[in-house]
Amino acid sequence: MYSDIAEYLIYNNPDSSRKYINKALKINKEYGNDSILINLYGTLGYSYELVGNLEKAENTYNKILKIALVNKDTDGVFFGYSSIGGVNYYKGKYNESLKNYHKALKIAEQINDSFLLGQMYHNIGMVHDDIGNVERGFSYYNKALKIFKVINIPEWLGVCYNSLASVYVLKKDYKKGLEFYKKSIIYFKKANDSNGEGMVYANIGELKLKTKQINEAEEYFLKSIKISKSANDKMAITSTYLNMADMLYQLKIFYKSIEYTKKSLKYSLEGNYLALQREAYALLKDNYFGLGNYRLSVLYSDSLSLMTDSIFNKEKFESIEEMESKYQIAQNKLKIDNLEKDHALQKERIAKQNIYLYTFIFGFLIVLIFLIFIFRLFKSKQKVNNELKAHQHIVLEKNEELNQLVEEVTAQKDEIETQREKLIDINSEITQSIAYAEQIQNSILPKKEILAQTLSDNFIFFKPKDIVSGDFYWFTKVDNKLIITIVDCTGHGVPGAFMSMLGASLLREIIIKEKVTEPAQILNILRTEVISALQQKGTIGEQKDGMDMALITLNLDTLEMQYAGANNPLYIISNSELQISGEENSTNIKLFDSSKSKNKKSKLLFEVKPDKMPISHFVRMNSFKTKTIQLAKGDSIYLFSDGYPDQFGGAKNRKFKYKPFKQLFIDIVDKPMHEQKTILKDIISNWQGNNAQVDDITIIGLKI
């Protein structure tokens, strides 16, 4: 939960976000889940990047790389190398940046991930662009653009068009540069990326500056700064202030240019952006020279020399060239290997053709020999006929034996046919029995009219995996209270159906006959009865049959709802905050309905957590807890089993999962309940595709 809050705060309040990340890290270290640890360190590193603390960001990404290498986590290793490469790029350590980017590129090539390949091609292009290898950078940008056009990622298409535009500007092809910048803005708007828009506005301002369109340049720079400040993007603010200062310097407004240059220098020193520091020192040197203050001009000239030596020394450039050369050699070797493989395949294909040829010749010779044999046989026909007459009585005896064999085979065939018909009859009887079991199981389900009489706006989505189901729903009305539950029994099909019959019978005994309506008490009694019925002792190797369930009791007069759960949670969607008594170790999850108009109230989804125990003999046998919630008109309640979020499907054949499941309820909550059921049914059907249904699916939706 702390990690969810941290991700929500990271853009608007990175410092607060880090507090929650550190809390989550402290909790996770007790359990030692390296996968979660990598995600938390990733969020922490990015929060440092947002505030310009690149040293801490790099240290954090190095922790991710260390954990991922130990666990052989390919995704984690890629993330570590690419993130460290990005930090070193912003610090002006181009040699280190290229080393890490090339390592990440090698991983992307090994796993053949187009999206990651496109990212790395673009980032390597940026480094070459910054150190003056413009044509090489241009080549990498085009590789990235080609990939992102195929997989259609708007945000990265915006990035690629922006980078290519900057190269055209360097070549003084301003018309082409402006055309590509405008394409970039179109794609950033499609991706709803305001930071990207701000960056492109700054670049267009620089283009307008180069073409002496001063007023238009200032207008674009101010647009960019406004967007960057709202997003707290220090890198973009630094760069834009520097471009504003350069514009004022060209207009010979030296004092104002110095003011903006120092603002840029302040941000670049905070973020340790070495390349931008170097540009700021150069501009301060030129401004003071323009004012005639040669002492300060010389001072900033010395600072500039030191910066240039630290960033662009001969050894670094030689290392970068060596690295690029190694990569190109590796690519050429790969091409040679592919050619050798093609050559080997061609040789194999020729060898197969030779085999076919030799086989044909051999077959032809056999046919020829056979024809010669037939001819000789024909010539000796008279002799053979005489021999046949002599052995006619032998043939008759053999014929009689053959007739006997035919009769035996016919008798065996009849026996097989009889057995087949018996199997068909048995299968038919089994199918009829299961179908009859389905009728019996349906008869224990309560009549929907009970629910419709009290809460008219509701739906029940019930989709068994097999003919009979291990899931069942049950509800009844006791005085002024409506009791509703969804139960997920161990297994599905016939075994699950037996458990559901037992569960429904026990619930009827506890609630209707014994008049027990308090949820936790119902679950405690039900667990005792299930353990007794199944004769569970808790011994090693014993069957772990049982039930997971969520049960609510709704007071129809006061709208006070009580809930208890065995492994199955409860979702409530409301227009306002809800108070949940008894919710000691759970924080309500809130999701905002971003698809609605800003003028409408946002919907809040509350997840009420269950007790992590089943209705069976278990390691933990604590009493179940009742949680009380005061509802209001318009609130929506959802009970469900795990069949929907656990269903495999989609493009990558993965589980649907709970986070999209929650967002789905948020998206459809304003629709009538019968429409919600149709949407849920269509979405899971499209998601499942040709896959088999994994488990029984049951969902009940209620609107107060």
Query: What is the per-residue pLDDT for 15?
Result: 64
* C-alpha to C-alpha distances, 151 to 113, 154, 217, nearest whole angstrom: 11, 9, 34
Query: What is the per-residue pLDDT for 633?
Result: 93
Give dist(CA 595, CA 617) in Å, integer: 45
Give dist(CA 331, CA 118) in Å, integer: 16
Q: Encode pLDDT of 317-331 as tens digits.
A: 445 455 555 555 555
Q: What contacts 33, CB < 8 A, 6 or more positions away? A: none
Query: What is the per-residue pLDDT for 531?
Result: 92
457-494: buried (b, 16+ CB within 10 Å) or exposed (e) per residue?
ebbbbbbbbeebbbbbbbbbbeeebbbbbbbbbbbbbe
Upper half-sphere CA count for residue 111 (Cβ side, 13 Å): 15
Q: Which residues of the chain have pLDDT under 50?
A: 312-318, 320, 585-599
Q: Encode pLDDT of 582-629 as tens digits.
A: 765 444 444 444 444 344 557 899 999 999 999 998 888 999 999 999
Q: Which long-range contacts (CB under 8 A, 24 or more apart) does 666-675 make?
A: 666/573, 666/591, 666/592, 666/593, 666/603, 666/605, 667/593, 667/595, 669/573, 669/593, 669/603, 669/636, 670/596, 670/603, 672/457, 673/457, 673/458, 673/459, 673/701, 673/702, 673/703, 674/459
Residue 463 DSSP SS3? strand
pTM for the full predicted model = 0.43
Burial of 415 (0-12, 13-18, 19+ CB in 10 A): exposed
Measured in whole angstroms, the distance separating CA 459 from the mean position of its chain's CA atoms is 30
User: Residue by residue, what is the 3-state secondary structure of 502-565?
Assistant: HHHHHHHHHHHHCCCCCHHHHHHHHHHHHHHHHCCCCCCCCCCCCEEEEEEEEECCCCEEEEEE
Nearest residue to 78 (alpha-carbon basis) of 51, 43, 49, 115: 115
Q: Encode pLDDT of 175-200 as tens digits.
A: 999 999 999 999 999 999 888 888 89
**Contact assessment for residue 457 and residue 704, using Cβ atoms and an 8 Å cutoff:** no
Give dist(CA 570, CA 604) in Å, integer: 14
Give dist(CA 664, CA 289) in Å, integer: 63
Nearest residue to 702 (alpha-carbon basis) of 640, 629, 617: 640
CA dihedral over 324, 139, 75, 189, signed as positive or negative = positive
**Tokens standing for residue 81:** 């190398």
Give dist(CA 438, CA 466) in Å, integer: 10
Give dist(CA 673, CA 655) in Å, integer: 25
Q: Encode pLDDT of 118-131 as tens digits.
A: 999 999 999 998 88
Residue in the block written with tokens 């089994």: 430
CB atoms within 10 A of CB 137: 24
Query: What is the per-residue pLDDT for 585?
Result: 42
Query: What is the per-residue pLDDT for 431?
Result: 59
